[in-house]
Amino acid sequence: MTAYLDHAATTPMLPEAVAAMAEEMTFAGNASSLHSSGRRARRVVEEAREQLGVALGASPSEVVFTAGGTEADNLAVKGLFWARRAADERRRVVVASPIEHHAVLDPVEWLVTHEGAEVVWAPVDHAGRVDLDGLEQLLDARHESVALVTVMWANNEVGTIQPVERIAELAHRHGIPVHTDAIQAVGHLALDFAASGADCLSVSGHKLGGPVSTGALLARRGLDLVPGLHGGGQERGIRSGTLDVAALRAFAVATTLAVEAQPAESVRVAQLRDDLIRAVWKAVPDAVLNGAVPPEVDGLGPALAAADGTARLPGNAHFTFPGCEGDSLLYLLDARGVECSTGSACQAGVPQPSHVLLAMGVAEATARGALRFSLGHTSTAGDVAALAEAIGPVVERARGAGLSF
């Protein structure tokens, strides 16, 4: 039986979401059509929009549906940049953290290459947390030229949680809008868009039990965004394209259920995560836990200690294994029925060390030996036990066979 420890890449759809999608697929109707079937489809879409708003602390009018998290990130980064630059030619600087997902990093780099933007990297510490003092100094010095700040809510590789509310406060002192990629946070952390202070927030359906290719950008009312897609003028003209009614209904159902279950589920999953960390350290004492260290396991291994153990996603455990290549460990574990990743699934197969670890000050050779174990709503103690049994022999074999660098 396979132990699936890659929920950060994608998590199984919730049965209720599958049922909602299957039922909705039996109906015809374009949500932009004016006949009865179209009006019915539009009603389903708007009910899904209301559900998402309630679950995430946003007004329904602030929910812009997209085809996933990558599109939401692109719309936010490019849309804000273009709108701010059009209003003031001086505003060409994008402030971003160097540990962002490539769905943010690549649009930023594209703006630099094609649109004359300048990127300024917000400093991060050894746990991957944004240095607020450094960010404050940066914004004080460059605020007249800054178009936007973009910092993810929780890191997809090492699980570090950012102080989004404080970041928004610092940016808003200078009237600078803030985008946060919350794709790993929704359904796993307590989250309220209105209370966060962020101006726009990205969410993805398949990370929380919904279908792939569903997502949304929560955009504060009155926020000026230049659309990246043009066509039928759907979604307030911000994102054209025929809406997938069945998928959006399932997305809303999954989000609602994930948010409702989050308080208890986060505790359950965090306990499994802590058991997993202890098991890895018992089998491989020199394994290094990257990111913030939960207080329940701090001091039990050669960890990079962080002061606040609550600053880590409940289902994330990210290790580096000295003397091993991460890809080799992944394949050896897979052969034993344990599935995990070396980092972002979007970068899988790319033979280069994690940009997240490098930004945190981890040496390149060390960064190549990384594995991410991520738990979710279907995770059990049996999954942890399977890893505990496999990890020691796998690391020993990788080192003994010279599967290193």
- Which active-site residues does the annotation give? 346
Laid out side by side, the sheet with 63-66 consists of: 63-66, 215-219, 200-204, 178-181, 146-150, 93-96, 118-121
Q: Are 180 and 198 in contact (CB under 8 A)?
A: yes
Q: Are 340 and 326 in contact (CB under 8 A)?
A: no
Torsion of CA 329, 332, 334, 336, to 10 degrees: -130
Helix, strand, or coil (residue 384): helix
The set of residues, in sequence order, having a beta carbon less than 8 Å from that of 12 and lying 6+ positions away, is 4, 209, 376, 377, 378
List beta partners, residue 120: 95
What DSSP character marks residue 161? B
Exposure of 110 in the CB half-sphere (CA atoms within 13 A)? 13
d(CA 158, CA 162): 12
C-beta atoms surrounding 18 within 10 Å: 17
